[in-house]
Structure 1
């Protein structure tokens, strides 16, 4: 399957480099190249893309301004020469953040994260027929998991760790990229943990016991977690 992408950058050398990188990725199809944010807004009003390769610092309309204008945002990889924008970029829940000059190896990692997320997503028309399993790609294998077996999904820098009673598997994905595709028994309790409520053995104050491990419930996710827990009590 090919994923469409849009390049938005005001610098001709950067546009040329990114276009070349896209052409070297068989899973990508270049939808268009825009020289500024306003041009990109017009393009996205007419067509949708899967991945947005977006420069931040541009005249008139910055990349961040562009994202704030879009009602439906493509999966976004921010690209900039200015490190101070990194935190702001992640507040917008982008899939990755690349520093110029971007190497092809680092570009491939970002695209891999994006396509993994896109392949993991469940389309609205599929919700009524959701499979009871999913696949995760590791460095050398594609591993099948039953949703019911998964106890915890843990964030570890650019990776996630999927934990079941019998194994732990790492994959190059972000925690936020899988959260929306998980069924209802999964709940986020911390910036680093999503748990399967079916595997909870005890809840003690701000901690959850699953198997032999204790996981913290952070303040930001506490209210939602206990609301979900109350619905399961008798």
Structure 2
């Protein structure tokens, strides 16, 4: 399967290098090359891509501006000469962060990660259902979770914390990435929190209570959450 890729960078040498890397990568085809963030937004309004290689410091709209203004984002790999933007990037749920100058080996590692994630999405869609468990890597271990056991997932900078009644596990994964493989019982209630509705004990004003934990409901997710909660109320 071929995955469509978009490159966005205001520097011609960087665009040329990434274009060359894309041409050397199997199952990856170039959909567009953009000089600034405004061109990215305009292109994505009319076209779909699977993977976006996005520079941060660009004129008109920065890469951060682009991510904040897109309702539906492609799997995004940020590319920048400045390491200090890495944490901000992971807060915006990018799948990887490349620091210039980018070697082909490091580029390929990021693309493979994006393709693996996309392949899981495609397989789940074609099968029409999902297993009742998932595996997550943490440090040197791979830990198995039942979806039904997970009460909440919290974003902490570039990490996520998976919370169950018996344990909490950290992993270097974005919240957006894991959100795409969660079953319908899970819902995002805040930029930093996804909760499992099966584990809710109470809802008080703008808070969800699960056991001894209290999770805030942000304004951006409030309407969607209460609409889903309303569908499940008896009275």
Shift of 1:74: 3.9
Taking structure 1 as reference, are residues 137 and 112 closer, same or farther at Cα in structure 2, changes over 3 Å only?
farther
Q: How many residues are matched?
A: 227
Shift of 1:62: 8.8
Alignment of 1:216 with 2:213, yes or no, is: no
**Using the alignment, how far apart are the partners of 1:79 and 1:157 within structure 2?**
18
Taking structure 1 as reference, are residues 147 and 64 closer, same or farther at Cα in structure 2, changes over 3 Å only?
closer
Counterpart of 1:101?
A: 100
Task: Please give the residue correspondences for 1:139-218 in structure 2 after superposition, counting only pairs within 5 Å.
Answer: 139-218=139-218
Q: Secondary structure at the residue paired with 1:129?
A: coil
Task: Please give the residue correspondences for 1:101-140 in structure 2 after superposition, counting only pairs within 5 Å.
Answer: 101-102=100-101, 114=114, 117-118=117-118, 120-121=120-121, 123=123, 125-126=125-126, 128-140=128-140
**Using the alignment, how far apart are the partners of 1:164 and 1:8 within structure 2?**
39
Superposition TM-score, scaled by structure 1 size: 0.67
Shift of 1:165: 1.4
Superposition TM-score, scaled by structure 2 size: 0.67
Contact 1:80–1:100 under 8 Å retained in 2: yes
Counterpart of 1:75?
A: 75
Counterpart of 2:226?
A: 226
Contact 1:19–1:30 under 8 Å retained in 2: no
Task: Please provide the CA RMSD for this pair.
Answer: 4.8
Taking structure 1 as reference, are residues 20 and 60 closer, same or farther at Cα in structure 2, changes over 3 Å only?
same
Q: Which moved more, 1:56-65 or 1:191-200?
A: 56-65
Structure 1, unpaired ranges of 5+: none
Shift of 1:139: 2.7
Q: Deviations over 1:40-96 (max 9, x none)?
A: 9xxx9xx986433234667999979999xx99864222324589x99x9899x6625
Q: Secondary structure at the residue paired with 1:154?
A: strand
Q: Deviations over 1:124-152 (max 9, x none)?
A: 63463221112222231222211111100
Shift of 1:118: 3.1
Structure 2, unpaired ranges of 5+: none
Taking structure 1 as reference, are residues 102 and 200 closer, same or farther at Cα in structure 2, changes over 3 Å only?
farther
**Using the alignment, how far apart are the partners of 1:31 and 1:225 within structure 2?**
38
**Using the alignment, how far apart are the partners of 1:78 and 1:49 within structure 2?**
15
**Using the alignment, how far apart are the partners of 2:194 and 2:179 within structure 1?**
8
